[in-house]
Amino acid sequence: MISRTRQGLEGRRSAFCRTPFGCLVGLFASRMFRGGGDAEAGELDIGVGVILILLAMPGLLVSLLMFEKYGSLVRFLRGQGPFNPFSATIPDEYFFIILSLVVTGAATLWRWDAIFLDRRDYINLVPLPRAIFFANLFAILCLAGVFAFVANAASLFLFPVAVVGSQPSLSLFLRFAAGHAAAVFSASVFSFFLIFAPAGLLTALLPSAAFRRVSLAIRFVSVIALSVLLATSFTVPDLLKRVSVTNAHRIVILPPISFLGIARTVWVGRNDTFSVAMAWAAMIAVGLSALIAIVAYTFTFRRSFMRLPELADARPMPRISPSISPIAFLHKRLWRSPSQRACCKFVARSLLRSTVHLQTLLCFLAVGLVVSAESLSSLSLHFFVESNTSPPVEFLSIPFILSYCLLVGMRFAFEIPLDLRANWIFRLWLDPDRHDSRSVARRVLLMFSLFCLGPLTFLCTLEFWGWTTALLHTTVWCACTVVLVEILLVRFRKVPFTCQYPPFQSHSPLIVVGYLFGFFIFQTWLPRLDQWSVYDPILAVWFVPLLGSVLGGLSWYRSQMLDMDKRLTFENVSTTIFL
C-alpha cells in the first residue's frame, strides 16, 4: 500500500512537472537553490542535497546535545529527579526558535538575489506565451516551506524524544512535539518573509542602482541582527525571569520571544492568557511579514521584470581620483612590478564591486562586530574613566577579533571565483614561475586590515590610556596580524578569484575546526598576552620569539614544498579548502 501511495504521488509529481506551470516552478525553484542567473561567478553549485544537509545540521547537532541534558539515564546518574518538561525546557525552546530564525534567515540572505527573476530568465521567458508571476510566487512559497521544514526537521523529532521520550504517555509526547513544531516552524516562516519583504519593498521604492547598494546594506544589517539574536539566545531567558511583570508584558509580545507563546499555548492550553497573548502576537507577526512580502512582490514583480533589460549595470562605476586618493599613493609604493600593480587593482575592485564577494566579506565582518560588541558590553565604565588602570582584555581583544574576521573573510572571498572564462587575460600575461601571487594577496590583506583598523586601534587606545599603551598595543596587534596573514597564505599560489571552488576533502572539517581554534586564540589568548605586555612593557619582548618561531616554522614549511606547489595556478587542485 505504501509503495502504491508512493507511486501515485510520484506519478502526480511528474505529471505536474510536465505541465507548463510545473515546468516553470521547477525552473525557478532550482534557480533559487543553485543560482544560475547572470552571475557565472560566485555561484557555488553544491547540489540541493548538500544545501539541505547544511541547513539541517545545526538543528541536528543541538538536538543531540539535548540528550545529554534531558536524557533519563544521564539525569539518573547525576541524581536529578523528575522535572516539568513544559517549564524546564523554556530556555532550550527559545534557543531552538532562535536557531530556526537564524538558519532560515541566513539561507534566505544567501539566496536573496535568486528569489527575483534575473536577466537570463527575462531573455529565455519573455518570448514564451506563459504567465510566470504565479509560478515564481509558488516557487517562493515552496522555498519558504522547504527552508522551514529542513531547518527544523531534526529537532521536530529529536528534541521531544530527548525531553519526554522516557515518559510513558504518548499524548504528552505528541503535545510537546506539536508545541515545539508550531513554534519553530512559525519562526522559520517569519524569518523567511521578514528578510524577503524588504527585497520586494526596496525594489518597488528605489531605482535599480540605489537598490543594489541599499540591498547590500540591508543584508549587512540583517547578518548583524541574526548574529545578535544568536549571541543573546542564552541570556534572554534569564533576563525575562528578572524583569518586572509590567515590562515583561511589553517585551514578550516582540518576536522572537513571542514565539515561545505558541509553544506554551499548545503545551498548557488556552488557560494561560499570558501565553495566548504571546501566541497571538507571534501569529500576527508571521501574518504581517508574509502579507507585506507577498503584496510587495505582487506590486513590484511586473515592474522589476519588465525593467530587467535596462538594469545591465548601465551606469558609470564609482571611481577614486588617483591624484588625491591615499590608495593611489600606497599603490605606487607597495606594488613594484607591473603585474603586481595590475593584480592588486583587480583584487581591490573585485572585492569592493562584486556583490557576492563583498557580501561574504561583510558577513564575516558582521560576525566580528557582534562578537566585539558582546565583548565590550561586558566591560564596566570605570575602565574608560580611570586612567590609572590598565586596559582590560575585552577592550584589547576588539582589534584582534575584527582583524581575524576581516582577514579570514577576505581569504574566504579569494576562493570565490569571478567569471572564470575571463581569466584568460591572466593566463596570457602572468608568468607562472615568476609571478608572486602570494605577495599580492599578502599586501592586499595587510592593506585592508592594517590601514583600516590600525589607526582606529591606535587612536582609541591613545584616547583612554596614553601614548605608551597605544603604541605597545598597536604594535603587538600589527605583529599578530602579520603572522596571521602568513598563516592564511602559506600555500596560496593563485590570483584571487581566478580559480574554481576548492574541492571538498576529507580533512576540510579539520580546517574549519582550525579556524575556530584560531578565532579562540585571537579572541582570548593573544589579548591576554597583549595585556601583560601593556602592563609591563618588558614582557612584550616575549612576543618576538613567539611570533618569530611561528614565522620561522612557516618559512621552513614553504622551503620544504616542491617548486611545482609554488607555481601560479589557475586550476584549484590545492589539498585544502583555504590553505
Q: How would you classify residue 392: left for phi > 0, otherwise alpha for psi between -120 and 50, otherwise beta? A: beta
**Segment interacting with other proteins, rule: CB under 8 A, options 105-113, 362-370, 394-402, 418-426:** 418-426
SS (H, E, C) 87-151: HHCHHHHHHHHHHHHHHHHHHHHHCHHHHCCCHHHHHHHCCCCCCCHHHHHHHHHHHHHHHHHHH
Minimum Å gap between C-beta 472 and other proteins is: 40
Of the candidates 338, 378, 382, 556, which one interacts with other proteins according to CB under 8 A? 338
Give yes or no for residue 249 binding other proteins (CB under 8 A): no
- CB nearer other proteins, residue 319 or residue 333: 319
* Closest C-alpha among 57, 373, 402 to residue 229: 373
Q: How far apart are CA 161 and CA 119, in angstroms?
A: 48
Minimum Å gap between C-beta 431 and other proteins is: 5
Count interface residues toward other proteins (CB under 8 A): 30
Give yes or no for residue 243 binding other proteins (CB under 8 A): no
Give yes or no for residue 211 binding other proteins (CB under 8 A): no
Minimum Å gap between C-beta 309 and other proteins is: 11
Q: How far apart are CA 243 and CA 99, in angstroms?
A: 24
Place of cell 546518574: 77
Question: Do the Cβ atoms of 241 and 234 come closer than 8 Å?
Answer: no
Cis before 417? omega within 30: no
Site map 296..325 versus other proteins, x via CB under 8 A: ----------------xxxxxx-x------
- CB nearer other proteins, residue 107 or residue 343: 343
What are the cell numbers at 472? 605597545
Contacts of 67 (CB under 8 A, 6+ apart): 74, 158, 162
Minimum Å gap between C-beta 346 and other proteins is: 6
- CB nearer other proteins, residue 43 or residue 93: 43
For Cα atoms 105, 109, 115, give the angle at the middle one, nearest 5 degrees.
110
**Segment interacting with other proteins, rule: CB under 8 A, options 102-110, 178-186, 238-246, 335-343:** 335-343
Place of cell 581575524: 404
Give yes or no for residue 346 binding other proteins (CB under 8 A): yes
Give yes or no for residue 212 binding other proteins (CB under 8 A): no
Question: Do the Cβ atoms of 409 and 439 come closer than 8 Å?
Answer: no
Sign, Cα dihedral of 123, 126, 131, 137:
positive
Minimum Å gap between C-beta 570 and other proteins is: 10
What are the cell numbers at 93? 525552546
- CB nearer other proteins, residue 325 or residue 389: 325
Give yes or no for residue 499 binding other proteins (CB under 8 A): no
Give yes or no for residue 564 binding other proteins (CB under 8 A): no
- CB nearer other proteins, residue 39 or residue 521: 39
Q: How far apart are CA 152 and CA 231, in angstroms?
A: 19
Minimum Å gap between C-beta 136 and other proteins is: 24
- CB nearer other proteins, residue 102 or residue 418: 418
- CB nearer other proteins, residue 296 or residue 343: 343
Neighbours of 578 (CB within 10 A): 21
Minimum Å gap between C-beta 421 and other proteins is: 4
Helix (H) or strand (E) holding 264: helix 259-268
Q: Is residue 317 classed as helix, strand or coil in its secondary structure?
A: coil
Give yes or no for residue 45 binding other proteins (CB under 8 A): no
Give yes or no for residue 17 binding other proteins (CB under 8 A): no
Q: How far apart are CA 329 and CA 530, in angstroms?
A: 32
Site map 347..366 versus other proteins, x via CB under 8 A: --xx--xx------------
* Closest C-alpha among 190, 198, 98 to residue 144: 190
Pseudo-torsion of CA 281, 287, 288, 292, nearest 10°?
170
Give yes or no for residue 6 binding other proteins (CB under 8 A): no
Of the candidates 15, 48, 320, 422, which one interacts with other proteins according to CB under 8 A? 422
- CB nearer other proteins, residue 68 or residue 571: 571
Q: Which of residues 425-464 bind other proteins (CB under 8 A)?
A: 425-431, 434
Minimum Å gap between C-beta 491 and other proteins is: 25
Binding interface with other proteins (CB under 8 A): 312-317, 319, 338-339, 341-342, 345-346, 349-350, 353-354, 418-419, 421-422, 424-431, 434
